[in-house]
A and B are shown apart, each in its own frame.
Chain A
Amino acid sequence: MDLNIKDYIYDKLLPKVERPGRYIGTEWNSIHKALEGINIRFAFCFPDSYEVGMSHLGMKILYHLLNDQKDIYCERVFAPWPDMESLMRKEDIKLFALESRDYIQDFDFVGFTLQYEMSYTNIINMLDLAGVPKLTSQRREGDPFVVAGGPCAYNPEPLSQVIDFFMLGEGEEQMLEVMEVYRQWKVKGMKREEFLELVSKVRGVYVPSFYDVSYNEDNTIKSIMPNKEGVPEKVKKRVIKDLNKAYFPDKIIVPFIDVVHDRIMLEIFRGCTRGCRFCQAGMIYRPVRERTVEELFSIAEKLVESSGYEEISLSSLSTGDYSKLSELAEKLLSEYEKDRIGLSLPSLRIDSISLKLLQEVQKVRKTGLTFAPEAGSQRLRDVINKNVTEEDLINSVGAAFDLGYSNVKLYFMIGLPTETMEDVEGIADLGYKVMERYYQVPKNQRGKGINITISTSCFVPKPFTPFQWEPQDNIEAMREKQKHLQKMLRKKGFTYNWHDPNLSLLEAVFARGDRRLSKVLIRAWELGCKFDGWDEHFKYEAWLQAFEDCGIEPEFYALRKRELEEVLPWSHIDVGVTKKYLKSEYRKALKGETTRDCRTVCTGCGINLLEEGGVCK
């Protein structure tokens, strides 16, 4: 690429954009390599803004994993903010990688991480900006391979016409295996198609073009079958058996500009044993694997030293479930208090907050507290298997109030299966009980200015959960519920936030969508849709138009109840948790029966059968 274009972008274009810091690429610990000796160039693309993407742990891990390979140069790419995009289009500048400012259309791989459905139009937009053909079928020899991974890849079908192959499951080992296959393919100078064949043999790799989907009269799927010999009928996700031996970088990039999570994220364990029935993460990230306190401490030490961050956050799906949480927290606090490095404990469950721990953490920094009862009534919490009682909530909130906290956030969902208006009112009732508990603290001892924030999101049924067969609540019903809560919570001390049901509808469509949605995605992009997850950019009307133009009804995907025996678009993907288990959980849910945490006794989800030798003890 012309050197002058790089300078032009940097010196002439960036002064015209709102936050030029997004596009600098020379942050501390970013990797810059000379091209000599580089065999594979990998564009790691996050289909959202820099601020969101740089907050993502998985990207940080894989970035350094790839760059630790001498012959691989992995660079970052984020979705250019619309102001930058329009300048690039006007001046005919293609999408470039942050580190080298080289155009990614010349790279070997363009890889996307799929964190949420509403970033899909950004993928289309980024491919377009890059000058890479948008559809798998349009790509020719010499074009990059467009690949994807991340939680949304477990239902890859809506993107199956766009992505050449998906990598399912944890990437630390698989990514390097794919790279090795590529090296050998490249040396031999083979055809594009041949690489896809070779790579489809790597466990966890899914090449959509090697599968045919046929449909029934009623538009449901009849079958999904491999159309090539040697291609697995079911693609199994990858799992790292021992997290303590898994790759973890000893440095992470420190952004110049403020990003969403600007701190050290210490992943203390993967997976979750709680079995909440609405939660996809709880199912797809199984089994639970913990890092030891020693391993975590050693990671923390290296990262503190190399980053200079002033905060460590313990990350996982449910921090309070870590078996040695107090030991770890105390060790970190005592080591780093003198250096004034704070500790934050997000996703702490309300039934597991340890008072002592809270006090310890508070010494270093005082943060607001969040609780997620998810549903307003005990009946509905039983349906979703959120094993938390009102008493639990009041006790932990109370403990926090006693310590002087006066700022709490409560998270709920509306539109859950079997929900009635009574359950919805339960949300407000719970809010009032929390308020009452605050006023029980003597006036001179309690924190000033009570603020209870209640947020309700709209439930989106997800693949690989017991609710994967359930219809989503319709938009009118959700709005009515939101209005009702709004009325009930119109009182000093409460803040009520709610999500846009229009956006949730689309999320529901793409979460459980099939191959036929790729064209809707492209059409929506043509109609100007991008950054759909951002209120100011979300164009609902354009989306409806796109569905209409393609002759597809969103209701078919979002609002339809599936038969238990229907072939679901993701039936050829195996995440380990069995359909049998999901069905039984679904039936129990409708009866309001709970399932206990499988930490003590296995409840038979099937994940232990995924790998030879099993992973759950």
Chain B
Amino acid sequence: MINMRLKFIKGRETKYISHLDLLRTFQRALRRAHIPMAYSGGFNPHPEMSFASALGVGLTSMGEYLDIGVNEEISGEDVIMRLNAVLPVGLRVENAVVLKEKPRSGMALVSHARYNIYLRFEKDIDIEDCLRSFLAQDNILAVKQQPKKDFKTIEIDIKPMIREIKALSQGGGEVVLDCVLSSGSKANLKPELMLQALKKQIGDIFEDEKIERIDLYSDMEGELTPLLLIDNA
């Protein structure tokens, strides 16, 4: 089996497609594209494919990743071309690379995600100042629901999961937050939760218009590396 990693865009038209539905959508698109998929063994064989990370329903993304296993050699360019011809609007493969043998899975690699969060404030504010005081707290507390525990809530400190937040003011109360948050199996911070904590600190004075994921990274000895650059053949 040859492993490949695809980077794709999940746009406005597909932002409501859940993780499971997206998997099925890709399965069918891969068939239409005649990508020679490898299948798992066992009683109920399924095509070898897995996403690096689940994206929240309602969010768009410029940098999602899908790992696939193929039986025959096929170039990245070929995969891009063939798949893009048969993907529904709102999904687009940007890049595809062949990985070295026994690569680490995208899922295992992901440690951080970059988001652009588009906010609209009631009035012009000094966002830099807000962020400074937000990040200066010893603990940044947020209340999290636990779907697996009957939606019981717990309070957690999200500060260690915020790697970076920068603000770009657009004027007129419009702000874009460019932030890098922990993402993956070890630590995961949803941007919505971060906003909830921000609201608690500066008041309910803004609305989020749009949240877009920009890319996924792996922390390679302190250095954030985009997934596409890891384990290439």
Contacts and interface: CB of A to CB of B under 8 A. Distances in A.
A27 B88 contact: yes
A24 B16 contact: yes
Contact of B86 (A11, A20, A21, A308): A308
B21 A307 contact: no
B21 A257 contact: yes
A310 interface: yes
A576 B190 CA distance: 63
Nearest to A15: B58
A20 B21 CA distance: 12
B21 A308 contact: no
A21 B29 contact: no
B39 interface: yes
Nearest to B29: A308
A310 B30 CA distance: 11
Contacts of B13: 24, 26
Contacts of B18: 21, 257
Contact of B89 (A14, A26, A307): A26
B161 interface: no
B89 A254 contact: no
Contacts of A257: 17-18, 21
Interface string B1-33: 000000000001110111011001101111110
B32 A258 contact: no
A310 B13 CA distance: 24
B17 A256 contact: yes
Contacts of B29: 28, 308
Nearest to A27: B88
B171 interface: no
A29 B86 CA distance: 10
Contacts of B25: 28, 254, 256
B31 A339 contact: yes
A308 B17 contact: no
Contacts of A308: 27-32, 86
A305 interface: yes
A256 B45 contact: no
A516 interface: no
A309 B28 contact: yes
A340 interface: yes
Contact-residue bracket for chain B: 20 to 34
A254 B30 CA distance: 13
A608 interface: no
A136 interface: no
Nearest to B30: A308
B130 interface: no
B92 to A, nearest CB: 13
A124 to B, nearest CB: 29
Contacts of A49: none
Interface residues of A, number: 22
Contacts of B20: 258
A28 B28 contact: yes
Given A28-B88, A340-B39, A256 B32 contact: no
Contacts of B88: 26-28, 256
B16 A21 contact: yes
Interface string A4-31: 0000001100110000110010111000
Nearest to B90: A26
A306 interface: yes
Contacts of B89: 26
B45 to A, nearest CB: 7
Contact of A305 (B17, B21, B32): B32
B5 to A, nearest CB: 21
Nearest to B20: A258
B54 interface: no
Contacts of A340: 39, 45
A508 B168 CA distance: 65
B14 A256 contact: yes
Given A257-B21, A340-B39, A20 B28 contact: no
Nearest to A306: B32
Contacts of A28: 25, 28-29, 86-88
Contacts of B32: 305-308
A31 to B, nearest CB: 13
B126 to A, nearest CB: 28
Nearest to B16: A20
B71 to A, nearest CB: 11
A305 B14 CA distance: 22
Contacts of B28: 28, 254, 307-310
Residue in B29, B58, B88 whose Cβ sees the most chain A Cβ within 10 Å: B88
Interface string B39-64: 10000010000000000011000000
A305 B32 CA distance: 6
Interface in A282-325: 305-310
A546 B13 CA distance: 42
Listed from nearest, the 8 A-B pairs whose CB atoms lie closest are A308-B28, A20-B16, A308-B31, A308-B32, A28-B88, A26-B13, A15-B58, A256-B17
Given A20-B16, A21-B17, A310-B27, 12 more contacts: A20-B57, A20-B58, A26-B13, A27-B88, A28-B25, A28-B88, A258-B21, A306-B32, A307-B28, A308-B27, A308-B29, A340-B39
Interface of B: 12-14, 16-18, 20-21, 24-25, 27-32, 39, 45, 57-58, 86-90
